[in-house]
């Protein structure tokens, strides 16, 4: 049973309301299932939307933020508990250590870097936690097609790629992650 999930997502809201809706819906699913949110801290962008949804729904929130990004003028106010780290490496290690699984929502380079790092850690056997991708309105379709090309070219095995659980619906994704975790 997943009790705490780390979410990687944009520090902006993107150009469509569907991204905000997806972040808030995932936050509501967390509160329904009593899953704590572990995330990068702050209250801006999709990060803020999911954090506020969980916090306002009575759920637990842990924001892990590097000191350089801590000022309110940069990241806003983090709801819930805050851990301030010296750098991004420490941030990601603390987020991973406190999580039973990981979900990526739409975002930019930081989101993609965190997703690729955590799936690589899984590949290397550093954890056996489920990694999910919430494919909001086909946001990740091009990336998924590229990853299939990487498999076809022999650089990633089909088995390793199958460690990435993909769904467009938050409730289904969390169900799949729970089933994967208990398998």
> Are the CB atoms for 5 and 100 separated by under 8 Å?
yes
Q: What is the pTM of this model?
A: 0.95
At residue 165, what are phi and psi to the nearest 5 degrees?
-90, 125
- pLDDT value of position 183: 46
- Roughly how many angstroms between the first and final C-alpha of the chain, as a whole number? 11
d(C-alpha 5, C-alpha 3), whole Å: 7
Residues 72-129: pLDDT tens digits?
Answer: 767 888 899 999 999 999 999 999 999 999 999 999 999 999 999 999 999 999 999 9
- pLDDT value of position 181: 54
Alpha-carbon 113 to chain mean position: 11
- The domain over range 4-182 is classified in CATH as 3.40.50.450: yes
């Amino acid at each position: 049973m997943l009790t705490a999930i780390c979410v990687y997502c944009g520090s902006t809201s993107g150009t469509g309301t569907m991204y905000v809706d997806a972040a808030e819906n995932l936050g509501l699913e967390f509160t329904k299932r009593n899953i704590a949110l572990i995330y990068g801290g702050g209250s801006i962008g999709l990060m803020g939307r999911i954090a506020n949804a969980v916090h306002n729904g009575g759920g637990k929130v842990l924001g892990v933020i590097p000191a350089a990004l801590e000022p309110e003028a940069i990241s806003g106010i983090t709801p819930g508990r805050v851990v301030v780290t010296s750098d991004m490496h420490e941030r990601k290690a603390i987020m991973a250590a406190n999580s039973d699984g990981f979900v990526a929502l739409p975002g930019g380079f930081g989101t993609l870097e965190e997703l690729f790092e955590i799936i690589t850690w899984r590949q290397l056997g550093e954890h056996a936690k489920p990694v999910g991708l919430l494919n909001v309105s086909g946001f990740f379709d091009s990336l998924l097609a590229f990853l299939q090309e990487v498999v076809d070219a022999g650089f990633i095995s089909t088995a390793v790629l199958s460690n990435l659980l993909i769904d467009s619906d938050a409730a289904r994704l969390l169900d799949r992650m729970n089933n994967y975790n208990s398998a």
